[in-house]
Structure 1
């Protein structure tokens, strides 16, 4: 006969379940309360960072300090709220775990940036008046750079580490609102890391590169994006800059007409010859087809000394969009028949000049006037803080490349975005890329548009990286008759007027090989080459106005399928869409 009580074993199970449910409810309540607090703290960090950026840009350092302290307190609080054992335990729960881990990572990044990067940056800002750098008259005071190098190095190292940490967060595994926040945070950290890295690079290199230890000479190569080359555009004009004790002067200007084709090409790497034959070694205009600016810069220097003699200490290549960024600071310029603003300078240099000035020789004169006017305005009429920002933005987009003939400087440059090299793959990043080179023989790339995407996953049981390139000719339908013959090429190289003919090269991770190649779903003949241990696939495509094509290349093998895959690409007139998409196997 039962006395109505449950057996001991069943009571024990019931108590255990009850206790577990009670603990779970308490834990959920705990992390909910702490999560709300952490989110509020991180929102305060975001708001404070925006305010801080404005106060520093305005030169209000007294106002920046309390904002920085507030940001640091909020970041430290967010770390404290998301680092206790209960929160960390929820980070191990399937599906929900990545969201908890991501919030912890964001809080940790905010804390490290505010503590390890923001404090040194404020120290630099407090001890350096950018207006005193002496840009007026083309002279830069080199003395302050030695003082700011160490704190900038500390801040740059901290921001670099934060950028890597942000990149490692698996945003794809988080809820959409959090994934969006992660993307915004990544962009902010990357922007800061690029800007501070550029400032640190300037602090390291400028004292010697601007003639602090003896005079220097640099070739400035101006690239025209209306006719694409791997590093931005065809070389349209060149100039020689002289730097001595921080004073920069424009010594000589020349056009490509001053550099006739060589009968015997300059030495080129095997990869360059495989992709572009010997043209970069014979024609100055084509040197920027060379993917690696370490090789391109040295070749440009050789062409200059071969034509004009003297000593070249380095080469600086910039594209037309750099002028747009700088003119947002310097203001309007007048050259030839044009009055240029930041809004119309790109259209003038890459399109309008060809209709307004049909004679190529006169075009060259106007390009030289524009370069000289911009150079003078930048060194004498621009706010240094804004100029640094404009140059940093241009560098982030890959529109400035620098090579030095001095080994120690070149080693530093080659490891930075300014060096124009393909970074080595490592645990923190795997690189793929797209190189765009025009073969129309005109200036039709002003109307070309690109969109690039990467996808990683598994195809046929193997880790796979997919790269897609969509290339579009957005020229008007009547381009053959409405555009100048100099722009269309007028069929001179066998390309119908209005058509864009382009060499599109796609390279994959180091060590991987193409497992599938198609264009608009169809296979066709391609060029292949090796570039620093990377397999390159190159299509030549011809598109009439309004036409578009999509190239798909899948890579398998070493380095393929890595989540932390980044795409590098030729800078275009309009910054292209470069996205990450879910993998849909083409093979």
Structure 2
């Protein structure tokens, strides 16, 4: 009996030890797995968190680089944790397989994003801003050698971000554990925004070097729009400057005023659409009427045709800035002291007073002295461009220019079709958008030859059934003595201080008008089309201190449109009580 027991016991002991070893191994594997998951989760969160703090502001480039470098370290650790043997095995198992695969996808996406897109883009930005000293010449805004390398870097980054975003977007965050769903959702959102931004940058990066004269100089006609005399792109084209951009540096070539350009003849006009000619044809001679249209590319083509008619060599493009844009640029240059022509006096002009000076004060200072006023403006323009060329860098300009672009205070046109498409992609072209059912456009045009829109206030509103517009005239009560004659209406028979304007409303796609009223009374309107939009134009004369209320009752059905308008001196407000 004892012999039999001795034969059985060793096998039982082996089985017991095998079970013990298997159990210990299983516990160790489970512990290793959960430790790997914990490490991956911790490192993934640490990699994702900085993405929410990254800024596109060039002034924060150093901070952005530190955040990305930190994110890269944690992304690599997360990737290493995701490649641990237990997670690779667990990703093939039921129940927990989805979680493990999501964890590995997140880790790989973060690592690829930071290493293949984030770090290279920050390195590129640093190179672009590393502008070498130029001695006596104007300082370039950007390092054009780096700008030539930008297309390849942006393209690689765009493709890397796009792949990572697509991989994360395919994860069903609702089906995985909370510890993973939060970083997956956050990373998907951040990469989606980065993907869109890089797609847009990828569209115009190939043209940036040429636009900034990296390989050969480029000439641009810089047009200054005065918001005191309203036009649909902003204001009347008053001053102009011919500038040359060579390897990123700006130089002033010539400067003048609209009076220096003779009227555009019929035979010199560029090709125009029939609906455009029907709306604006009789008024298109003076360069000051080139932007009766809200479509800046058409306005720029008319300006270039006028320029060429003078026997001048056409520049490669047109850039428009208005008085608000110049005030913003003066924030960068600092105040400018301008001598008063024919006097020992000097005037200090800065960001805080430029709009008031350019749109109001100078007409009083130089009343009856047109040549002195033009010399004053030319001197101010020349000094500002000199300051921008010598002392500014893209690091200082980028954020300001982006804000000006978004408010359409800055627009650009290129005669090269591919470059023009890139400018449209970048939101710089000022092109009339394609009509949609969710948008309406409102434009005001001075029709009295005045500078009174400095005192105009616009309010708008919209519902699914109506669009409302209010125009308030805040001309001083003592305008007849307080304002120079040059500022008041020049049109024969027009009341001196009235806002004599044409209001144009571009209707949502598929909508028409049932009625148009001014201050509750039906009025006749001019109907037309432009760029696929149906529009109505309403002539108005608003006395000093008064408000005109225009209500357009819409036909057809649709949602309440978003109302957009041209750049104006004063912020647009809500037209309370008009659309209800």
Structure-2-length-normalised TM-score? 0.70
Report the counterpart of residue 438 of structure 1 in structure 2. 446
Residue 542 of structure 1 pairs with residue 544 of structure 2: no
Aligned-partner SS, 1:517: strand
Aligned-partner SS, 2:221: strand
Report the counterpart of residue 15 of structure 1 in structure 2. none
In structure 2, C-alpha distance between the alignment counterparts of 1:453 and 1:444, rounded to whole Å: 24
Q: Are the structure 2 counterparts of residues 201 and 382 from structure 1 closer, same or farther at C-alpha, using a change threshold of 3 Å?
A: farther
Aligned-partner SS, 2:62: coil
Shift of 1:274: 3.6
Considering only CA atoms, is the larger Rg found in Structure 1 or Structure 2? 2
For residues 124-143 of structure 1, the aligned pairs below 5 Å read: 124-129=121-126, 130-133=128-131, 137-139=138-140, 140-143=142-145
Q: Is the 8 A contact 2:447 2:500 kept in 1?
A: yes
Match of 2:282 among 278, 285, 291: 278
For residues 79-158 of structure 1, the aligned pairs below 5 Å read: 120=117, 123-129=120-126, 130-133=128-131, 137-139=138-140, 140-149=142-151
Report the counterpart of residue 409 of structure 2 in structure 1. 399
Aligned-partner SS, 1:228: strand
Shift of 1:230: 0.8
Q: Are the structure 2 counterparts of residues 543 and 313 from structure 1 closer, same or farther at C-alpha, using a change threshold of 3 Å?
A: same
Report the counterpart of residue 220 of structure 1 in structure 2. 222
In structure 2, C-alpha distance between the alignment counterparts of 1:574 and 1:334, rounded to whole Å: 26
In structure 2, C-alpha distance between the alignment counterparts of 1:390 and 1:123, rounded to whole Å: 24
Report the counterpart of residue 294 of structure 1 in structure 2. 297
Q: Is the 8 A contact 2:234 2:567 kept in 1?
A: yes
Q: Are the structure 2 counterparts of residues 263 and 537 from structure 1 closer, same or farther at C-alpha, using a change threshold of 3 Å?
A: same
Structure 1: 5+ residue stretches without partners: 1-41, 73-111, 163-185, 457-463
Is the deviation greater in 264-273 or in 203-212? 264-273
Q: Is the 8 A contact 1:423 1:431 kept in 2?
A: no
In structure 2, C-alpha distance between the alignment counterparts of 1:352 and 1:438, rounded to whole Å: 20
Q: How many residues align?
A: 464
CA RMSD of aligned residues (A): 4.0
Match of 1:381 among 386, 391, 397: 391
Q: Are the structure 2 counterparts of residues 546 and 533 from structure 1 closer, same or farther at C-alpha, using a change threshold of 3 Å?
A: same
Shift of 1:244: 3.4
Match of 1:335 among 313, 335, 338: 338
Structure 2: 5+ residue stretches without partners: 1-44, 76-108, 166-188, 340-345
Aligned-partner SS, 1:128: helix
Q: Is the 8 A contact 2:223 2:319 kept in 1?
A: yes
Q: Are the structure 2 counterparts of residues 409 and 288 from structure 1 closer, same or farther at C-alpha, using a change threshold of 3 Å?
A: same
In structure 1, C-alpha distance between the alignment counterparts of 2:111 and 2:548, rounded to whole Å: 46
In structure 1, C-alpha distance between the alignment counterparts of 2:410 and 2:227, rounded to whole Å: 13
Q: Are the structure 2 counterparts of residues 248 and 56 from structure 1 closer, same or farther at C-alpha, using a change threshold of 3 Å?
A: closer
Is the deviation greater in 212-221 or in 149-158? 149-158
Is the deviation greater in 533-542 or in 505-514? 505-514
Report the counterpart of residue 498 of structure 2 in structure 1. 499
Q: Are the structure 2 counterparts of residues 419 and 482 from structure 1 closer, same or farther at C-alpha, using a change threshold of 3 Å?
A: same
Q: Are the structure 2 counterparts of residues 543 and 63 from structure 1 closer, same or farther at C-alpha, using a change threshold of 3 Å?
A: same
In structure 2, C-alpha distance between the alignment counterparts of 1:277 and 1:232, rounded to whole Å: 20
Report the counterpart of residue 410 of structure 1 in structure 2. 420
In structure 2, C-alpha distance between the alignment counterparts of 1:57 and 1:409, rounded to whole Å: 29
In structure 1, C-alpha distance between the alignment counterparts of 2:200 and 2:335, rounded to whole Å: 26
In structure 1, C-alpha distance between the alignment counterparts of 2:486 and 2:366, rounded to whole Å: 10
In structure 2, C-alpha distance between the alignment counterparts of 1:189 and 1:543, rounded to whole Å: 51
Is the deviation greater in 239-248 or in 404-413? 239-248
Report the counterpart of residue 171 of structure 1 in structure 2. none
Aligned-partner SS, 2:314: coil
Aligned-partner SS, 1:468: strand
Deviations 1:310-353 (A, max 9, x none): 13211111111111111111211122342111111111111111
Report the counterpart of residue 23 of structure 1 in structure 2. none
In structure 2, C-alpha distance between the alignment counterparts of 1:190 and 1:485, rounded to whole Å: 56
Q: Are the structure 2 counterparts of residues 293 and 54 from structure 1 closer, same or farther at C-alpha, using a change threshold of 3 Å?
A: closer
Q: Is the 8 A contact 1:472 1:547 kept in 2?
A: yes
In structure 2, C-alpha distance between the alignment counterparts of 1:190 and 1:566, rounded to whole Å: 25
